[in-house]
Structure 1
Amino acid sequence: MSDDDVTSFLEGSRKLQLATINPDGTPHLVTMFHALSEGRIAFWTYAKSQKARNLERDPRVSCLAEAGDEYTELRGVLVYGTARPVGSRDGVLAVGMAIARRMTPGVPDELLLPYVEKTGLKRLAYVVESTKVVSWDHRRLT
């Protein structure tokens, strides 16, 4: 896929699989809702979560978004990178709002904000600085 195709695909995907590295070196793989922040994958999580503890120790991640059921429909984007913490509380809330908007299209911000502000007190947010992007689109094989 082209860079524009990758961005479009990530914009159209509501969730992705996020892999962090456990203390014993094994992958910790979870499904996450995400948003894009200036073209980069952004997500948030509870500060006490395993992924947050993993990222504090080792910020390397892999992020996979995929679609398609039949072989000829398979397409996806795999982003390798480093998860950088969003430093400010306003930044964490901005990521939370972007994700909430994607999860609940059409719901006005004034209804989303109380939830985001409350749950955001216990959350951290990250933006993924990509080091490598791999993509595929089997629809182009035919």
Structure 2
Amino acid sequence: MSEDEVTALLEGARKLQLATINPDGTPHLVTMFYGLDKGRITFWTYGKAQKARNLARDPRVSCLIEAGEDYAELRGVLVYGRVTPMDDAESVLAVGMAVARRMTPGVADELLRPYVEQTGRKRVAYVVEPTKMVSWDHRRLS
């Protein structure tokens, strides 16, 4: 996919599959809503979540964003990278708002902010610094 197509998919999607590494080396895979900051993936989670514990030990992640229902429609972006934690209140709020907007499109910020502020007290936010990106588009196969 071209850079513009990758950007469009990242901007248009709402969820990703996030893989972190468990203490025993096995992958820990979860679905996450995410935000974007200057084209980089951001997400947040509770500080005591398994993914947060994994990331504190090993900051490597894989993020899969995909679209399409039938085989001939499948397309996706796989981002390999390392996370940088953001645990200051302002950064957590900014990432939380970006995520909440994706979770609830069209809902006014004034309605989202109380939820984000409340749950943000127990959360850590992350930005993914990409090290490698792979993309595909099966619509081109026909």
Which category of TM-score, normalised to the shorter sequence, fits these structures?
over 0.9
C-alpha distance in 1 between matches for 2:66 and 2:86: 26
C-alpha distance in 1 between matches for 2:90 and 2:12: 25
Deviation per residue, 1:77-129 (Å, 9 max, x gap): 00000011114210110000011111111111111100000000000000000
Letter in 1 for 2:120: G
Q: How many residues get paired?
A: 142
> Which residue in 2 is equivalent to 1:134?
134
Query: Which ranges of structure 2 fall in alignment gaps of 5 or more residues?
Result: none
Letter in 1 for 2:89: R
> Which residue in 1 is equivalent to 2:30?
30
Letter in 1 for 2:21: I
1:16-27 to structure 2, matched below 5 A, reads 16-27=16-27
Letter in 1 for 2:47: A
- Given the two structures, how large is their TM-score scaled by the length of structure 1? 0.98
Deviation per residue, 1:17-76 (Å, 9 max, x gap): 000000000000000000111100000000000000000000000000111121110100
User: RMSD between aligned alpha carbons?
Assistant: 0.8
Matched, 1:41 2:70: no
- Given the two structures, how large is their TM-score scaled by the length of structure 2? 0.98
Runs of 4+ in 1 over 4 A off after TM superposition: none
